[in-house]
Structure formats: structure tokens, C-alpha cells
Structure 1
């Protein structure tokens, strides 16, 4: 009888010879600490910092993110589109850091970030000269002063959403539209503290 080599049966799998590797989702998740961030920086191959060519990033509603997370990790010179909407813990420090380290941004979403204020816009605007689309709806600490800064530094702006920003006036919005040549879409529903109940 001819020997055709070893033959395998399903029982080998049961003995552990072909045990499949554990899947990432089977591991218990844990919080990333400041110490972990330091290790990531030293081992770039295993961190977000290694993604030098990253062009789009959406971190919307990642409510655990803080200024520490944003300022230490978001440093992508080629990043063009970034969403940080619905991050209640981030402040002007995050905005300033993002603007400084991500100068290729053309789209930035900061809607529902209550700690973003005129001060953050003042720090960031000089570095956001390529910005075309900016979303600031429901940012209550943003006022007319921010619009003046956008006119001064963000001359390529095409879309601006300042809906429900209670301290922005329609007069300033009209001035903004007159001074920015590329501005096509301005969403300004309920600016200036308009009564939302009237529209319901």
C-alpha cells in the first residue's frame, strides 16, 4: 500500500495544534493614561503619531477625550478634515494646538463644544489660512469677535455654521458675508439669542 504522507483529522484541532489566535475584541479594553501616551511617542510604529500622512479624522462624540489627549497626539501636518464636534471636555488649548500642528486643515468641525471661545479662535485663526469649512454651531462662548478674526485670517472660507450662537449678531454676519469673497454658505439660524420656541 502506497504511503501518501501524514493525514490529519479534525481531532488535531481539538488537541490544540491549530488553535486560532485570540481576536483583539476578546481582550478587555482599558483606559489610555498619560504614561501610555509617553510610551506611544517613544514607539511611533505603534501609535497614532506614526500616521504622518493622515488626511481625515473624525473624533465626534468621543466624550472621554480631553485637552491632554488632543494636544499631545493630534499633530498631523497633512491633515485636511477634522471633526471634534460634541467633545464637552476640550477647550481653547485644544483648538490652538490643532491649528498650530495641523496647518493644512480645510475643514474643521467644533459644533457643541461649549468651552471653545473667542480666545481659542484668536489663537487658532492665524494658522488656519487654508480653512474652507468651519462648523461652530452651539458654541455659546463664540461671539462677534470671532467673526472679525475669521475675516482677517481665513479668507478662503466657503462654509460657516454659527447656528444657535447666542452672542453673534446678524449685523456682524452680514459684514462677514460682504468681506469674504469665497463665502457661499452661512448657517446662522437662531443667532443672537433668538427664541427657539417661536420656530417650534
Structure 2
């Protein structure tokens, strides 16, 4: 087989993706071509958790190689540095110049991840600002999540060094304020992703005006979850300027109402792919207009995250809503692949969940609401449940309000501890069903795959 140089290099890259670091080192000794492809894999993202050394020791060794041994060509291969696992101790600390050295010696660095790291101190940032006079124009992604040592002024000076950023993560970052966010939006004119989840309460509508004004049609992903002062006025500004959003997370924003959400959906109905709107007190239930916007107008939606009681409340708060109508709306999704349901109470109907799955055209007995023309079906349902009576809390059992009658649910149809026990004890060899349980506090998550319909229909619950 005769391969061109381009095809041969691509073939090597595919093979090298499956090799260990040790094997890549051996391959680099074969010839010049193999050495170039192997070295690009080895240095693309240095790892700091190798062998018997701690992540901190590995990081220190990396610095020695970077500053004293590595050639200029090798330094250009580094594109991602993630020091999330590098932890300082009482006896081991990094030199305050570590960040400056990385920026100076990695000219093609594209992603810098300093999430949950104690290494980023005010002195580290001051050293960078003082010693690195120019800007680093290759960095596209900066992650400062959970950074607690950054002040507002330091954050503004820090960001000035990276004007070509495309994405920034400032979730739970201490330096976030209206002033810093406004300056970031102005300096980084090509930003398409902004994450400000759990940020300071100092963030007001001013920040969102700046984001929408300078971001405009370039913005693709916004994560503003758990923002205490995020209001409909903020959404109105974003909706007027940002028309190409693909991912929106407004979960746990208590001041947003149905009006604000509707404005944003109308502005981005042709591009939106992910929508996170769970735990929003301002939207206790979805109106018909919102249901139609989400399920019918947003034709490209692939992920939806809502509260389960948002669905049930729709039928309780309006006599015109019925279970069949809600199932009909769900059947209108054309590309939905993942559904996330939060706060699923113990009184929730397992039969309703079964019908919900069938509404996407799954299972042996197809629902009357399913659309036969749908080629893409739901791949995954995540159910975040509330505490059930079977949960042991503080020496006693938690009790939930008996609201089954208000939902028209029979006692035998609820998701109780017997139903959960049945799900947990399924033989995988018989059902070929993968169920994964993830412990969280104070709830639990059950990942229910698309072939659960038959399982639920066979479940026999006792009174």
C-alpha cells in the first residue's frame, strides 16, 4: 500500500493515541519521522502523576527540563498544562516564578488549567505581570475555577496578558466583580465561552450588559448557574445581542421568570443545543408557550435539564394540562439525546417515567405519542432523586409529604425503596442493562438508559 506523507503521519497519530508513555519513548528512537510524531504526543500535554513521584515532584522535574534541557522545538509542542492535581504542602512549595516560566517557555500553549490549585498566589500573578511585559497570544482557554487568592485588580491585570482567549472559566473565583468582568469582556473580544457559576454576589446586571455588548454573536456557551442577582433584565440584554448561543445554564438562578426565559429561547431557538433550567424558583412550572418553545421551536436541542416537579406542577397548576399533553410535548423533540430530571420525589409515578421513555419511541410497546420519523432517540436519562423514607438521617428516617393523591398516583405506582431495590438487583447477564449509581449529598443519581421501558413494565410493586 502506497501512502502519501500526510496519510502516513495521520496513520501514525492514530496508532500512537493508544500507546503508553513508555512505548512512545521507544517509538521515538525508530527514525526521524517516528520521533517527531511520538514527541508531539509526549509533549502535547505533560502529565504530573507518573511513577513513584508525587504530582508536585513531577511538576518540579518538568520545570527543570523545560528551563534547562528541552530544546526550543520541543517547547513549541506543549499546548495544554493542567496543574489541577499539583498540591503544595507544608514542606514543598513552588517558586513564585513558576507561572512566568510557563508563559515564557511555552509559546504555543493553548490551554492553562489552574483549577482548585493553591499554587496560584497573589505573588505569582504579580511576578508574571512584572516580568512578562508582552502578551501571550496563543492561549485560548483559561480555567481559574475555585481560585480563592485572586483580587479584583489582580484578575484584571492577569487577563490583560491573554487577549486572544476564546473560553474562560471563573466558577467560584474570588476576583470576579462587575468591574473585572466588564474589562475581561472588553479585552478578550473573541470570547465564545464564559463560565461564572457560583461567582461573587457582587455580580449584577452591569456584568451581563458588558458580556452581551462586547460578545454579541460570538458567544456560544454561557454558564451563569447559582447567580443570586441574575435577573430578567440581564437575559433581555443577552437576548438582544447574542443570537447564536448553543449552551445555556441558568440553573439555581432564583430571579429569572418565564418571561425572561422565553425571550432567550426565542432569540436562540435555531442554535440552542443544551438548556439547564433546574432549581429555579421563579419558574415553578412551565407554561404551554414555554413547552412549545423548548420542545418544538428549539429543534436542535440535545440536552435538557429540569426539575421533575416542574413537569408535574404543569398539570396541577392548569386544568388544561394533562399527562397526555405533557407526554405529547416530549414526543416533539427531534434530537434530544440526554434528559436530566432533578428532585424526583418518592411519590413520583414510575408509570409516568415509563410513558415518558416511550414518548421518545423507545421500548417494545411504542407510545402513541412517539414520532416514527425520529431517527435520533434518547440515549440517557439522569434522575436526581430527593431523600426517600429509606434514607437514614441523623439517627432517624426522613419522612416525605404524602402528596400522591394530588398527583392522582396510586400507592403501588410510586418510586419507593422496593422499586429502587429491584433496579439495583437486576442481573446484567439477563437484561444487558447497565445501571450506574453515583453517590452525592444529599441526593443520589440513577442513570437510566433507553432500554429501561421493558424493565419498568415488568416491575411488580406491592402495596
Q: TM-score, normalised by structure 1?
A: 0.75
For the residue of structure 2 that corresponds to 1:191, the secondary structure is: coil
> For residues 23-53 of structure 1, what are the alpha-carbon distances to aligned partners after superposition, in whole Å with 9 as ceiling and x for unaligned?
678556664349x73x6445326xxx64221
Q: Is the 8 A contact 1:164 1:193 kept in 2?
A: no
> For residues 85-104 of structure 1, what are the alpha-carbon distances to aligned partners after superposition, in whole Å with 9 as ceiling and x for unaligned?
01144211111011011111
Give the structure 2 partner of residue 169 of structure 1: 257
Query: Is 1:135–2:223 an aligned residue pair?
Result: yes
Give the structure 2 partner of residue 144 of structure 1: 232
For the residue of structure 2 that corresponds to 1:192, the secondary structure is: coil
Give the structure 1 partner of residue 145 of structure 2: 60
Q: Which has the higher contact order (CA 8 A, sep 6+)?
A: 1
Query: Is 1:126–2:216 an aligned residue pair?
Result: no
1:80: Cα distance to partner?
0.7
How large is the Cα RMSD of the aligned pairs?
2.7
1:51-130 to 2 correspondences below 5 Å: 51-75=136-160, 76-113=162-199, 114-129=201-216, 130=218
User: Residue 32 of structure 1 is aligned with which of 88, 101, 122?
Assistant: 122
What is the CA–CA distance in structure 2 between the aligned matches of 1:135 and 1:95, rounded to whole Å? Answer: 14
> For residues 129-155 of structure 1, what are the alpha-carbon distances to aligned partners after superposition, in whole Å with 9 as ceiling and x for unaligned?
211000000001110111101111112
For the residue of structure 2 that corresponds to 1:105, the secondary structure is: coil
1:179: Cα distance to partner?
2.0
1:183: Cα distance to partner?
2.2
Give the structure 2 partner of residue 183 of structure 1: 272
- For these two proteins, the number of residue pairs brought into alignment is 173
Unaligned 5+ runs, structure 1? 1-21
Q: Is the 8 A contact 1:115 1:139 kept in 2?
A: no
For the residue of structure 2 that corresponds to 1:134, the secondary structure is: strand
Q: Is the 8 A contact 1:170 1:192 kept in 2?
A: no
| Range with bigger deviation, 133-142 or 154-163 | 154-163
Q: TM-score, normalised by structure 2?
A: 0.34
What is the CA–CA distance in structure 1 between the aligned matches of 2:264 and 2:181, rounded to whole Å? Answer: 22
Larger radius of gyration: 2
What is the CA–CA distance in structure 1 between the aligned matches of 2:94 and 2:236, rounded to whole Å? Answer: 48
